[in-house]
Amino acid sequence: MKFRRERHTKIVATLGPASSTPEAILQLVHAGADTFRLNFSHGSHDDHANRLRMIRKVEEVVERPIGVLMDLQGPKLRLGTFENGSARLCVGNRFRLELSAVTGKDHVAHLPHPEIFEALSVGNALLVDDGRIRLRVVERGPDFADTVVEVGGTVSDRKGVNVPDCALNLSALTPKDRRDLSYGLSLGVDWVALSFVQSSKDIEEVRAIVGDSVGIMAKIEKPAALGDIAAIVAASDAIMVARGDLGVELPPEEVPTIQKRLTRLCREAGKPIVVATQMLESMVTSPAPTRAEASDVATAVYDGVDAVMLSAESASGAYPIDAVQIMARIIRNTEKDKLQRDTMGAIAATRLAVATDAIGAAIRTVAEVLPLSACVTYTLSGASALRVAHERPNVPIVGMTPKLETARRLALVWGVHAVHGNDAESVEDMVASATEVAAAEGFEPEHRPFAIVAGMPFGTPGSTNLLRLVFPTPNQLH
C-alpha cells in the first residue's frame, strides 16, 4: 500500500541551501511536504534545475505526485547608493528623492523609478527598508519628491522602497521574471506564483504567456490588489496571502482581517488559497515553534485553507525537517477537532448551475449520510476534483487523472489525494479501476462504500455528469 496523508490541508515547503539534497527532499516529503516552492528571488537557474531534478527523482521513489511552485521575484523598487554606504535620517527632517543619479546623503537620495514619481501625491507615504523608515510626501514633481521623515533610522545602499498608498504603472513581470518564467516552463514547473499583483490585468499578462500549461497563483502583497480582488480571484487559478510584504505596507492589525477576507473569497469561489510567511518563523533558529505560531497555523486550518507554507524555515533554517513535521502535526491535531469542521463549514461554497457543482454538493450530502471511504474523481484538467474539494466534504478525494501534470497540480489542493492513472473506457472499467486504485491507495473499498465522479463520454474535459456509489456487497453496508 502506498503512503497517503492523514490530513486534508496541504504543506508547501520552500527549498534552499538547508534542504537541497535528494536525502533532504525525501525526508521533507515523508515529514509532510506536498508541494515544493522554488524561490526565483534567490539562486541561479542551475540551482533551481538541480532542485527540480531531485524532486522528480524523489517523486519516483515515493510514487506520489509532487507539485512544484516557481515563485517569481517581481519588481524590486530600490534606492541608489549613499556616500560612505549609508546615511542617518532624523525624525522631522526633510529628505528629497530624485530621479537623477545623485549620491545619497542624509538629505537626498537617488530613486531610479519614474513610475513612482508619476503615481505619488502629496500626503502619500513611502516606506524604506521593509518599513523601518517612513517618509511622508510634502511636495512632488515628475522627477522628485520632497518628504518629511516620520520614522527615522539608518538607511544604506539599495534598500527597498514600498509605496502603499497608490497603484504604480508597473508590469508585474520584469525582464528578469520573463527570463525566469521561460526557464521554469522549460523545466516543467506546475504552478507560477506572480509577485506584486495589483490588478487582474497582471494575471492576464501571464496567462497570455503560459496559457493553461501551469496554474497561476496571485500573491496578494500590495494594498492596491485589494481594490480589484474579486477580479484577481476570478482570473487566477489560486491565491497566496503573502503576509510579510502585505504587513509592510499595511498596519499589522489589518493583516488578519485581510487573510480572513481572502480565505472566504477563495473558499466561496472554489479557488485554492495558500497562507504564507512567518508561520513557524522561530524555527529558523529554534527546534520548536512558539505557541502563538502553532495557533497561527491552526487558525488557517480552522478556516479551511488549501495549504500553509514554510519559507526560510525549510529553505535556510537550522531545522527544516522538524518544521515540516511540526506543521503536519498541528494540522492533523486541528483537523481532529469537531469545531474545525464546524468553523470551516461556516463558509458556504458558491455553486454554479452546472452538473459538476450539483454532483459536488451531492457528494457532501452523501458523505454525511453514508460512511464513504473515498470519492474517486476521474479528471483530465483537475477541474472535477477542484469542484468536489470546493465543497469540503467529509471524505478523502482521490483525484485520478491520466495526466501527470494535473496530478502534480492537485497535490496543492485541500483533501485531494492525487493519483496518476489511466482513464476509463466504459462504466465497468471505471468501477473496476476505481476499486483497484482505492484499495491500492489504502482506502479499503472492500469494507466501506465509495463514490465515483466521472464524465461521459469518457476522456472529455468538462463533461462531469456521473455520480455512482459502489458498495462492498449489493445494498449492504459493512
State the burial class of residue 130 (Cβ atoms within 10 Å of its Cβ: 0-12, 13-18, 19+).
middle
Give just the sign of the alpha carbon dihedral 244, 248, 252, 256: negative
219 has catalytic annotation: yes
Strands ordered across the beta sheet of 161-162: 108-110, 94-98, 144-151, 133-141, 125-128, 161-162
Q: Identify the active-site residue in 219, 243, 387, 408.
A: 219
In 3D space, the residue among 335, 450, 341 whose CA is nearest the CA of residue 10 turns out to be 335
Q: Which of 277, 356, 377, 379 is catalytic?
A: 277
Annotation says 37 is catalytic:
yes
d(CA 247, CA 345): 28
Q: Distance between CA 473 and CA 339 in Å, rounded?
A: 34
Assess whether 140 carries a catalytic annotation.
no
Among candidate residues 4, 56, 78, 332, the one labeled active-site is 78
Q: Which one of the listed residues 10, 37, 51, 448 is annotated catalytic?
A: 37
Catalytic residues: 37, 78, 219, 277
